[in-house]
Amino acid sequence: DAGVTQSPTHLIKTRGQQVTLRCSPKSGHDTVSWYQQALGQGPQFIFQYYEEEERQRGNFPDRFSGHQFPNYSSELNVNALLLGDSALYLCASSYGTGGREQYFGPGTRLTVT
Amino acid sequence: GQQVMQIPQYQHVQEGEDFTTYCNSSTTLSNIQWYKQRPGGHPVFLIQLVKSGEVKKQKRLTFQFGEAKKNSSLHITATQTTDVGTYFCAGLGIRKLNTGTASKLTFGTGTRLQVTL
């Protein structure tokens, strides 16, 4: 049984560019949440997707957008990259939106130069 | 917005010593979850506490949820080198929507534990 998978593992982009990160949830899970983790900090909630809709959003600008597909996988898009967007982006899956435990993927390390 | 703070930020212990991290939220929590993140790794779920005053044990780990559901603690007895990592508490907020519910985890600042022989 595969856990949460994310791609790519590492990514280097230039300021102003756009990036798309991908996540496949653990088998049986239908909810995906995205987090940004800066070095030495705790994960910061970006948004949560369920039934292909964004259900809740954290304090992130509209440059951060997402999508969930019918097979529950998800994408995180970031436009007009800033240096401050450099971080580890974590995807977490769970069953339902009622607050059950979340299973995290290994993350995508994004570096913006 | 909701803020979750943890103390200490960092603790270095000798193997066999005990360790405690404390978590405080600015608002009342629906529940609290604890995660461990090894260096270079991703957060791994440890436990969830739901009831006021709840205490749960996992081998050498003891988790407590405060009576007011605004604070929590994790205590490790007789630490081992395998306990090395950063421990995060995360407060759960649940919102009711017309179409169901949505949940959001607010992670604490984390406590980094270093254990040496």
**pLDDT > 70 in chain A, percent:** 99
Kindly give, in sequence order, each residue whose CB lies less than 8 Å from that of residue B48, ignoring residues fewer than 6 positions away.
Answer: A100, A101, B31, B32, B33, B34
| Disruptive mutation site among B44, B88, B105 for chain A (greatest number of A CBs within 10 Å) | B105
Q: Is the dihedral of CA A102, A105, A107, A108 positive or negative?
A: negative
Question: With an 8 Å Cβ cutoff, is B106 touching chain A?
Answer: yes
- Examine the pLDDT at B30 and tell me if it is beyond 90: no
Question: Which residues 13-72 in chain A show a CB within 8 A of chain B?
Answer: 33, 35, 41-45, 48, 50-51, 53, 55-56, 58-59
What are the pLDDT digits (tens) for A43-88? 999 999 999 999 999 999 999 999 999 999 999 999 999 999 999 9
Helix, strand, coil percentages (3-state) for chain A, rounded to 5, are 5, 50, 45
Average pLDDT, chain B: 94
Q: Which of A37, A27, A21, A28 is nearest to A74 (CA)?
A: A21
Given a cut of 90, whether residue B96 has pLDDT beyond it is no
pLDDT tens-digit map of B41-90: 999 999 999 999 999 999 999 999 999 999 999 999 999 999 999 999 99
What pLDDT band is residue B94 in, cutting at 50, 70 and 90? confident
pLDDT at B2: 80
Do B49 and B58 meet the contact criterion of CB atoms below 8 Å apart?
A: no
In DSSP terms, which residues pair with B107 in a beta bridge?
B90
Most A CBs within 10 A among B6, B63, B87, B104, hence the mutation to make, goes to: B104
For residue A1, the model assigns a pLDDT of: 61
Residues in contact with A48: Cβ distance below 8 Å, sequence separation at least 6, in sequence order = A31, A32, A33, A34, A54, A55, A56, A57, A97, B102, B103, B104
In the DSSP assignment, the letter for residue A48 is E
pLDDT of B103 higher than 90 = no
Longest dimension (CA), chain A: 38
pLDDT at A42: 95
The confidence band for A99, taking pLDDT boundaries of 50, 70 and 90, is: confident
Instruction: Please check the confidence at residue B97 and state whether its pLDDT lies above 90.
Output: no
> Is residue B1 scored above 80 in pLDDT?
no
pLDDT of B99: 80
